[in-house]
Amino acid sequence: MEKNKTGKYFKYAIGEIVLVVIGILIALQINNWNQQRIQNKNEQLALENLKQDFEYNYKTLDSILTETKNNIETQFLILNHTGNKPKTITRTGFNTSLNDLNDINEFYPRNGYLDDLVNSGSLGIIQNQKLRNKLSSWNPVFDFIKSRENELETARDRVSHMIIEKGSWLNADAVSTAETVKNNIFPNSGFDIDNRTLLDELAFENNTENIIYQNDKLTQSHEKGLSLIAQILELLEIEIQKE
What's residue 108's pLDDT? 95
Enumerate the domain spans of the chain: 52-241
When comparing pLDDT for 21 and 90, which is higher? 90
Q: Report the alpha-carbon distance of residue 97 to residue 204 in Å, rounded.
A: 13
Q: Which amino acid is at 205?
A: E
Residue 49 has pLDDT above 50, yes or no: yes
Nearest residue to 126 via CA among 238, 5, 226, 1: 238
What's residue 1's pLDDT? 46
When comparing pLDDT for 38 and 4, which is higher? 38
The arithmetic mean of pLDDT across residues 132-159, rounded, is 95
Provide the whole-model pTM: 0.81
When comparing pLDDT for 38 and 44, which is higher? 44
Residue pair 186/173 in contact (Cβ under 8 Å)? The answer is yes
Residue 182 has pLDDT above 60, yes or no: no
When comparing pLDDT for 33 and 66, which is higher? 66
What's residue 20's pLDDT? 73
What's residue 37's pLDDT? 67
Choice among 1-10, 51-60, 186-195, 200-209 with the minimum mean pLDDT: 1-10
